[in-house]
Structure 1
Amino acid sequence: MMRLVQLTDCHLHADPKARSRAGFPLRQLESVVEAVRATRPDVVLVTGDISQDETAASYQHAHRVLSTLECPWFWLGGNHDQPGLMEEIRGFHDVIDLANWRLLTVDTWVRGQAHGELGETRLGQLAERLAEDERPTLLAMHHPPLAVGSAWIDEIGLKDRDALWEILSSFPQVRAILCGHIHQAFVGRQALEHGDVLVYGCPSTTDQFLPGSEGFAIDEASRPGYRIFDLRGEEWLTWVERVDL
């Protein structure tokens, strides 16, 4: 079995004591990572928005905390991030080997924009990587590639998602997509000719967004969390864990 843990949307500041709307992002990340360590993951992936203020110091805080994990960890950028600053601290990986599975990271970052987009170049690169290996595959990206039922979030999702699904229609090995951005547990599916592709959202390590809201709203009753994927053969089991602060 291979255990993958997803973290997302840490929204750290240069000031380690900075507040978010509902808590203290760095302190919450430390608590979530401590909980994740106890689950003994094989790999941890952080799916974007590591920073809130786009400072080098915020990424240094993240690197320090994530490096306490006793396993390899990887990150990708979200709309609040500065990928250049991230890469100076720790590089990106397009392909992550998960034994019987592969994990491909997909860059949806658009400079100065809240929404995500792949564009022809990145879509072409994804198709090339998928063509290299027929093992069961997970994709990971920051922006959700389908509507999640909150009008304001859906406005800033992945703009060229139809083009993504057209590419994926030729690659039946893609079983599921992990996304960040939405600050909530979520499961959706996209029907393709060869079967459904599942899309999983993940709680933030800091503030949670209220599901189904028309406008921006914090879910005051929810807690930070993370998502576990247990990969066994060609099957997987996934669930969300919440962390008491």
Structure 2
Amino acid sequence: MSLLLHISDAHLYDDPVGELKGVRPVESYAAVLEAAHRHYPDPDVVVLGGDMAQDEAVATYAKVAAMLPWCAPVMISPGNHANLGALRGSLIPALRSCASYSDHLDLGLWQVITLNSHRTGTISGFLAVDELERLRTILEATADKYTLIALHHHACDIGSRWLDDISLENSEVLWDLIADYAQVKVLLCGHIHQAFDTFHEGVRVLGSPSTCIQFRPRSDDFGMDNKSPGYRWIRLLDSGEIQTAVERVEGFIPPDLNNKDPY
């Protein structure tokens, strides 16, 4: 059995008093990390979802890593808020300075593969040809390993029109690829700022809350939920099944849930 923690959508600023919808992301991120570390001090892998740095600054990416309380293997799945140059030049080296970093981790009976769904200039996601080919090459060579794939953008509808409009643009291509590989058991995403759990094409699809503000489920238009920040834990069982739940901290509710200002 292996334990995976999913920490996503921190939206940090380098400025410690920077706010998003009236919430200070650095404070909510710190609270979520403290709670996760208290309950799970020794995970086998931590997956950082996308949108970790709202200002996409080098210093902010360094802060994302510096605040992590674990010296464990860390993986990332870049999202729409991503400066890939700064991420590669700051976040990844910082992660490597403590523990291993990779986009493909062998956990014995299981493997974790992270994908980059960032597409410059768009909020929605897209998997480039080389990223899809990398995935296919790994899956072709690892038919004996149960597989969890983590990416930022959701690849199936979640019932919120505005979020489904900015999901993974070429999700059909991903599902067509996955259909050839029965070892794929889980598809994990961020981006939607809410807990989500369903099956699609025989694969468990999981979404995680943000460590900052939450989005209201099943909403046609942008709306914030009155739930606190959180994270998801996943136990990868030797049987190929999983156990999972979302845990939340207290507080950090936006003072005005009707605030629709862009960010």
| Same topology, TM > 0.5 | yes
Mapping of residues 23-38 of structure 1, within 5 Å: 23-38=23-38
Asked whether the 8 Å contact 1:10–1:206 carries over to 2, the reply is yes
Asked whether the 8 Å contact 2:74–2:102 carries over to 1, the reply is no
Mapping of residues 119-198 of structure 1, within 5 Å: 119-134=128-143, 135-191=145-201, 196-198=202-204
Structure 1 counterpart of 2:90, one-letter code: I
Structure 1 counterpart of 2:131, one-letter code: R
TM-superposed CA distance for 1:147, in Å, is 0.6
Structure 2: runs of 5 or more not aligned: 93-100, 252-263
- 2:243 matched to 1:242? no
**Equivalent residue number for residue 55 of structure 2:** 53
Q: Alpha carbon RMSD of aligned pairs, Å?
A: 1.2
**Equivalent residue number for residue 225 of structure 1:** 230
Q: 1:75 & 1:124 partners in 2: Cα distance?
A: 18
SS in 2 for 1:89: helix
Q: 2:28 & 2:52 partners in 1: Cα distance?
A: 13
SS in 2 for 1:16: coil
**Equivalent residue number for residue 120 of structure 2:** 111
Asked whether the 8 Å contact 1:185–1:202 carries over to 2, the reply is yes
Q: 2:75 & 2:185 partners in 1: Cα distance?
A: 20
Comparing 94-103 with 132-141, which one deviates more in the overlay? 94-103
Comparing 21-30 with 150-159, which one deviates more in the overlay? 21-30
Q: 1:148 & 1:87 partners in 2: Cα distance?
A: 31
How many residue pairs are counted as aligned between the two chains? Answer: 239
TM-superposed CA distance for 1:22, in Å, is 4.1
TM-score of the superposition, structure 2-length normalised?
0.88
Q: Where does structure 1 differ by over 3 angstroms across 4 or more consecutive aligned residues? A: none
From the two aligned structures, give the one with the greater strand fraction. Answer: 1
**Equivalent residue number for residue 5 of structure 2:** 5
TM-superposed CA distance for 1:15, in Å, is 0.6
TM-superposed CA distance for 1:47, in Å, is 1.1
TM-superposed CA distance for 1:71, in Å, is 2.3
